[in-house]
């Protein structure tokens, strides 16, 4: 829908709140109407920081803010389904990140946030 072209990051899809007053809108008089659109903020945001070589601000590659909802856990996801662990992985590097809980749930993901993903060099085989 056109209103979602203006949807801010980390907000739900827009809802026109004055729909009853715009029932007479047509193509010819469209410019005479003001549409009130409400974007509801997502409440479950967490941060993921990606580092190269060591967890130090000077080695920070990127930071992502990820929005999640309860419905994201209906299919029992892995942590890798929620966070793209290799999103910023430099060539020749790997991550040994292990999610600290046995079960992935909304509450556990939020309780353990923020997350630091560390990329370390892949050892060369001799």
pLDDT of res. 23: 65
Nearest to 98, CA basis, from 88, 85, 111: 85
Q: 37-38 and 15-16 as β-strands: parallel, antiparallel, unpaired?
A: antiparallel
Per-position pLDDT tens, the chain of length 126:
577 777 777 677 888 887 776 666 777 766 777 778 888 877 888 999 999 999 999 999 999 999 888 888 888 788 888 899 999 999 999 998 888 777 788 888 888 899 999 999 998 654
Domain boundaries, the chain: 2-38, 45-121
Q: What is the pTM of this model?
A: 0.68
Token code pair at residue 121: 């060099």
Cβ contact 4:66 at 8 Å: no
CA–CA separation, 7 vs 33, rounded Å?
20
Cα gap 68→33, rounded to integer Å? 34
């Amino acid at each position: 829908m056109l209103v979602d072209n203006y949807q801010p990051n980390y907000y739900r899809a827009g809802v026109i709140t004055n729909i009853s007053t715009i029932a007479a809108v047509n193509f010819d008089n469209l410019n005479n109407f003001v549409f009130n659109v409400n974007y509801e903020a997502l409440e479950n945001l967490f941060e993921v920081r990606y580092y190269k070589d060591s967890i130090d601000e000077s080695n920070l590659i990127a930071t992502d803010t990820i929005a999640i909802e309860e419905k994201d856990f209906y299919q029992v996801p892995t942590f890798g389904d929620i966070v793209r662990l290799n999103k910023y992985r430099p060539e020749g590097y790997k991550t040994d990140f292990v999610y600290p809980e046995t079960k992935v749930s909304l509450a556990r993901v939020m309780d353990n946030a923020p997350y630091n993903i560390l990329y370390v060099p892949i050892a060369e085989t001799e």
